[in-house]
Amino acid sequence: MKTTSLVCLFLLLLNSQFTIAQTTVDDPEIKKMISEVKSENMEATVRKLVTFGTRHTLSDTKSNTRGIGAAQRWVKSEFDKYALESNGRLTSKIDFFTIKADGRRIAADTQLGNVMATLKGTDATDDRVLIISGHLDSRASDVMDSKIDAPGANDDASGVAAMMELARIMSKREFPFTLIFVAVVGEEQGLYGAKHLADVAKEGKWNVVAMINNDMIGNSLSSGTLLRDNTQVRVFSETIPYLETEAESKMRKSTNRDNDSPSRQLARYIKTVTNQYVEQLDINLVYRNDRFLRGGDHTPFSQNGFTAIRFCEMNENYNHQHQDVRKENSVQFGDLPEFMDFEYMKKVTCSNLATFSNLAWSPKTPTNVGIEVKDLTNFSTLLWTAPAGKPVYGYNILIRETASSHWEKTIFVKDIKAEIPYSKDNFFFAVQSVDEFGHSSLAVFPVPIR
Ligand SMILES: [Zn+2]
């Protein structure tokens, strides 16, 4: 269901302790940013990246016209253009690191580099970080062939173009905490660039609120089955967190929260925000970390204990993925721009932007979120502690039936405790902080309070 009204506020006084309301507040600034997303910009980025011939991780780094080095320097130069309008808050770098020969897809020790732009926050006391990525490297049929053309228009110039469009638009605005826009390398050789950044974040004890990976978001036609769908995009999220302590595992089992990992809360958040801000695009929540037996750049972040998801088109086209550019029986193979759907890619980028900016302006999550279990009752009582930092306008209590994939009902409260007429035996709940513009934090699943 779409809500287009600026403010819908239905107040219902349930008892003297708190107010129930269903609020949907569209932030005009987010709507304005969404209106600035241009498919022409992203098409130009994709076509430019394709001109480097190949962006294979092990390709030429010296040439200024062909190979991964030229592509890295071009992305950095674009970041530097955006920086001019950021009041000195956007800075860029190529974060070089060395990967040892792995006997698999890295033949010899190789220097790799992620191209990063960091938008500094305006609140020095807010240590939160958001990361959005696409992968710059490409490949052809033979994953070790670093010489042959590998245009990589969809895989993954599309993700890089979306990330750059967000950097361009968001760097003109102020956000309280740090936003990182990154084109990682080494994805096709084994997720090396993302792993490097995930390790830097872990070692530096970064407070990463969310990591969003865009990998293949520009194709809307499936090969073989010929399904055409430009109204859905998949969001992959881990089921049981990769990193889980024994105590967390025990808590998960006792509260049946197998479907409520922080990454899954992020996925549901994306669905809600996309419904609110993006027309004709539904988030298809896929309840697995990635495609069957596969992984992506969000995976090393999940493995390091961070909240991370992947955007990926609904339908994949294997004629145009990991294929040498060639014609066979008059069928064109290869990952070329001519097969892309730039209007679809624009909608997915808008979904990214709505998510990223809502999170970037959100208050911190409520802490100590609990649910009372001392009495047998058909009401449920939730309580929590207000977060530090930016003032909170109120809280959303999110409700869904146990078999439902996404939140079905929202109850808005001003207090830090609420008794709701829904039994904890029949529903799942979570709580998120909200500011007066409707920016909401990620949802927190409650633990029992005895
Ligand atoms: Zn990819």
Provide the residue ranges of all domains of the chain, joining segments of one domain with +: 28-361, 364-449
CA–centroid distance, 356 to ligand 1, in Å, is 21
CA–centroid distance, 213 to ligand 1, in Å, is 10
CA–centroid distance, 391 to ligand 1, in Å, is 39
CA–centroid distance, 412 to ligand 1, in Å, is 39
Q: Where are the beta strands (DSSP E) in 195-253?
A: 207-214, 232-237
Is 354 strand, coil or helix? helix
CA–centroid distance, 3 to ligand 1, in Å, is 33
Round to whole Å and give the CA distance between 133 and 278: 20
CA–centroid distance, 93 to ligand 1, in Å, is 22
Measured in Å, how far apart are the chain's first and last C-alpha atoms? 38
CA–centroid distance, 246 to ligand 1, in Å, is 34
CATH number 3.20.20.70 given to 28-361: no
CA–centroid distance, 48 to ligand 1, in Å, is 18
Q: Where are the alpha helices (DSSP H) in 177-333?
A: 187-190, 192-203, 246-255, 262-277, 299-303
CATH of 364-449, one of 3.40.50.720, 3.40.50.300, 3.30.70.260, 2.60.40.10: 2.60.40.10
Q: What is the mean pLDDT of the chain?
A: 93
Q: Is 294 exposed, middle or buried (0-12, 13-18, 19+ CB in 10 A)?
A: exposed
CA–centroid distance, 216 to ligand 1, in Å, is 6
CA–centroid distance, 445 to ligand 1, in Å, is 32
Q: Name the helix (H) or strand (E) containing 116.
A: strand 110-119
Tell me, what's the pLDDT at 23?
Answer: 53
Q: Which of these ranges, 10-14, 82-86, 266-270, has the smallest mean pLDDT?
A: 10-14
pLDDT digits (tens, 9 = 90+) for 62-108: 999 999 999 999 999 999 999 999 999 999 999 999 999 988 999 89
Q: Where are the alpha helices (DSSP H) in 51-122?
A: 68-83
CA–centroid distance, 217 to ligand 1, in Å, is 10
Amino acid at residue number 129: V
Tell me, what's the pLDDT at 215?
Answer: 98
Average pLDDT over residues 308-314: 98
Percent of the chain with pLDDT over 90: 92
Phi-psi region of 309 (alpha: psi -120 to 50; beta: other; left: phi over 0): beta
CA–centroid distance, 223 to ligand 1, in Å, is 17
Residue 5, pLDDT above cutoff 50: no
| pTM of the shown model | 0.94
What burial letters (b/e) apply to 106-132, b meaning 16+ CB within 10 Å?
beeebebbbbbbbbbbeeeebebbbbb
CA–centroid distance, 188 to ligand 1, in Å, is 7
CA–centroid distance, 447 to ligand 1, in Å, is 37
Omega prior to 199 cis, within 30 of 0: no
CA–centroid distance, 299 to ligand 1, in Å, is 13
Residue 20, pLDDT above cutoff 70: no
Main-chain phi, psi angles of 58, to 5 degrees? -100, 15
CA–centroid distance, 290 to ligand 1, in Å, is 12
The sheet that has 110-119: what strands, in order across it? 90-99, 110-119, 178-184, 128-135, 207-214, 308-313, 232-237, 282-286
CA–centroid distance, 161 to ligand 1, in Å, is 13
Average pLDDT over residues 260-264: 96
Main-chain phi, psi angles of 182, to 5 degrees? -140, 135
Q: Specify the DSSP class assigned to residue 339.
A: G
Round to whole Å and give the CA distance between 351 and 297: 19
Is 91 strand, coil or helix? strand
CA dihedral 54, 57, 61, 66 (to 10 degrees): 0
CA–centroid distance, 222 to ligand 1, in Å, is 16
